A and B are shown apart, each in its own frame.
Chain A
Amino acid sequence: MGSCGAIIMAEPAPETILKVEDLAVHFPVGGYFRGRRSLPAVDGVDLELKKGECLGVVGESGCGKSTLALSILGLQAPTRGRILLDGHEVGAGMDRMARARIAQLVFQDPYSSLNPRQTVRATLATPLRLHGMTDDGEIDARIAAMLAQVGLRPEHAARYPHEFSGGQRQRIGIARALILRPKVVLLDEPVSALDVSIRAQIINLLLELKDAFRLSYIMISHDLGVVEHMSDRVAVMYLGRVVETGPWETIFTRPRHPYTRALIAAIPDPFGRTRGVKVTGEVPNPLDPPTGCSFHPRCPEARAICRERPAPGLEALGADHLVRCRRAAELAA
């Protein structure tokens, strides 16, 4: 771009819409008699989301990805660190109402996340009224426009959730998330509860809406195919920490962290080809994490030092590519 222009301008750095700094969320667990312990669900996470970008967050159950999402929405107070949404600190400088205008959530299960006793109109009008819209005509017009944007018809507004299929319900969930015109949308496994033949409809819709409204997405998913398809950048989490982050191409074609490689290797290839070395074992108990690097008991590349010394911080391996592994430089792409 700009090669034929007379004035050569530096590409403006894309604006950061969300910044997570050293976020930690520790949950107290244990009884009243024995010592209380704390479970580090998220333990020192740094992330940045640029305007118009889709950041995929992947990892297995217990890696902290849902806790991260709740913290970003101000629904879970951090133990340490802070979250800046559009320049304001979530929690401190921003109340729930202000947060709701900037960041919204699309839930995994479109069956349990809609109120069965409310019509679609009521579901979509409530946030508008809460945020100061009073004119019924204006509210109805906004709802009709929103429904059209997500591929539903105006008359659908009068219906109840049970009258819709799973895919249509997810469209309603998306409309509810977008009705206040937020800048950031968190997608928590947005298609995994849907029938396989419906998923493509919702994935295409989410990508269209992202362009139409200049949205930024954080998408949490365990489906690496969906993450590869939708993401601009990807963060891989393991036991409360980001272990690798980078542009989608780097993560999927030249992953460096052994855990990222193991995740990719675990996806069955329909043509029976191998995707790499699989790992054994399960995610350790975060209350009793292994010594050293928390992935070492399952890591095919682990050496004695990985068992003895904690994993290093995230280190840059290339443009925007960060890896938390002391052997990353040796593990050629």
Chain B
Amino acid sequence: MSAAPLLQVDDLRIDLALGDERFAAVQDVSFSIGRGETFGLVGESGCGKSITALALIGLLRPPLRLAGGTVRLDGREIQSLRAAEMRRLRGKRISMIFQEPMTALNPVSPVGRQIAEMFVLHEGATWQEAERRAVEALASVRVAAPERRAKDYPHQLSGGMRQRVMIAIALACSPDLLLADEPTTALDVTVQAEILDLVRDLCAAKGTAVLMISHDLGLIANACRRVGVMYAGRIVETRAAEEVFRAPSHPYTSGLVASLPLLGARAKEGRRRLKEIAGVVPSVAGFPHGCRFHPRCGRASDLCREDDPGPTPLPGDGLVRCHHHG
């Protein structure tokens, strides 16, 4: 663990401009991902998990903007690279897949050509060579009849097939890091399972690290080695995946775990009333003072209302931001 991690994010801050006002949509977000590691960011809508990923590859657009912090890839700061430099990095060393592959693919270009483009742009291949490798890439994401499929346009493919194409594009140049933003949310559960297995197998084979983003705590715990739980623009807890469910430390994490009707729980323990987390998810314009979770928290004290807790280390490479963590 002495070598620098593949990705090191420190004190990331993303501002959202609304009229004349500025709100910190993401603040004090720090985490690192080792080479070939799978790291999950889990949280509800508006917690800042997706824009954190966009910030990593320089894709924030107004009204959002990177307002502070550093992003290091292999020790080199990349948060203030010029657009042209970032373009060389994107797709080659860091790539990304999204929730809805239809909007991420070019509707007027055959999918084989969209994969081939990666080899032409990033590896200087000829189009002929690139098209041949695109067919191989389609085969590697377990698309049947890849020669024929390469000529298809996105609208001719099912949702699961489109996501396979996205994965083929993203992994074409064997990047060091894959950002996967809710990659299976739009898919049926049996297809979701296949896509997750595919990402896991291919990334393991290529040594690609994964930053997986989802609102589904069970999925993230299953697919990742370490997990960062986000709430209202902050990472409130970073843990080994199995610890998140077994021994959650932050009241938000333990509240979430207790509120989930986990498949198999009723058969094991009978039907218990689900534990509710009171209140509502705050919006970025209304993040509370002090600890941002305090209005919904059963452990909140006066301290929590006034003082924003800093990170406290937990055994086993974990962190929690809570004055009364358990």
Of A16-24, A29-37, A191-199, the one touching chain B: A191-199
Contacts of B276 in A (CB 8 A): 200-201, 204
Residue from A199, A226, A230 with most neighbouring chain B CB atoms (10 Å): A199
Interface bits B235-275 vs A (CB < 8 Å: 1, else 0):
00000011011100000100110011111111100010111
Question: A197-B44, A197-B256, A278-B197 given as contacts; is B215 within 8 A of A270 (CB)?
Answer: no
B89 contacts A by Cβ under 8 Å:
no
Question: Given A204, A266, A271, which contacts B245 in the complex, CB threshold below 8 Å?
Answer: A271
Question: Given B44, B197, B241, which contacts A195 in the complex, CB threshold below 8 Å?
Answer: B44
Q: How large is the interface on B (under 10, 10 to 19, 20 to 34, 35 or more residues)?
A: 35 or more
Of A4-12, A120-128, A248-256, A307-315, the one touching chain B: A248-256
Of A39-47, A92-100, A279-287, the one touching chain B: A279-287
Question: Given B246, B256, B262, which contacts A196 in the complex, CB threshold below 8 Å?
Answer: B256
Closest-by-CB residue of A relative to B246 is A271
Measured between alpha carbons, how far is A134 from B253 in the docked complex, in Å? 49
Contacts of B203 in A (CB 8 A): none
Decide: A269 and B218 in contact? CB cutoff 8 A: yes
- Cβ-Cβ contact count across A and B, 8 Å cutoff: 137
Number of interface residues of A (CB under 8 A): 45
Closest-by-CB residue of A relative to B161 is A282
Measured between alpha carbons, how far is A300 from B47 in the docked complex, in Å? 40
B191 contacts A by Cβ under 8 Å:
yes
Interface bits B168-189 vs A (CB < 8 Å: 1, else 0):
0000000000000000000011
The A-contacting residues of B in range 269-312, CB under 8 angstroms, are: 271, 273-277, 280-281, 296
Question: A196-B260, A203-B274 given as contacts; is B245 within 8 A of A229 (CB)?
Answer: no
B45 contacts A by Cβ under 8 Å:
yes
Decide: A225 and B261 in contact? CB cutoff 8 A: yes
Do most interface residues of chain B lie in helix, strand or loop, or is the interface mixed?
Answer: helix
Closest-by-CB residue of A relative to B268 is A253
Of B100-108, B129-137, B219-227, the one touching chain A: B219-227
Of A138-146, A155-163, A172-180, A257-265, the one touching chain B: A257-265
Measured between alpha carbons, how far is A272 from B220 in the docked complex, in Å? 10
Measured between alpha carbons, how far is A61 from B189 in the docked complex, in Å? 10
Measured between alpha carbons, how far is A265 from B259 in the docked complex, in Å? 22
Decide: B217 and A270 in contact? CB cutoff 8 A: yes
B77 contacts A by Cβ under 8 Å:
no
Measured between alpha carbons, how far is A230 from B271 in the docked complex, in Å? 9
The A-contacting residues of B in range 140-170, CB under 8 angstroms, are: 142, 158, 160-161
Decide: B266 and A228 in contact? CB cutoff 8 A: yes
Decide: B274 and A200 in contact? CB cutoff 8 A: yes
Measured between alpha carbons, how far is A7 from B221 in the docked complex, in Å? 55
Measured between alpha carbons, how far is A167 from B266 in the docked complex, in Å? 24
A51 contacts B by Cβ under 8 Å:
no
Measured between alpha carbons, how far is A32 from B323 in the docked complex, in Å? 69
Decide: A282 and B261 in contact? CB cutoff 8 A: no
B233 → A minimal CB distance (Å):
15
Question: Given B197, B260, B264, which contacts A252 in the complex, CB threshold below 8 Å?
Answer: B264
Decide: A268 and B266 in contact? CB cutoff 8 A: no
Question: Given A197, A204, A207, A266, which contacts B190 in the complex, CB threshold below 8 Å?
Answer: A266
Decide: B222 and A249 in contact? CB cutoff 8 A: no
Closest-by-CB residue of A relative to B244 is A270
Subset of 12 A-B contacts with CB under 8 Å: A168-B280, A196-B44, A196-B259, A200-B274, A204-B274, A225-B218, A229-B266, A229-B271, A266-B190, A271-B242, A278-B194, A280-B194
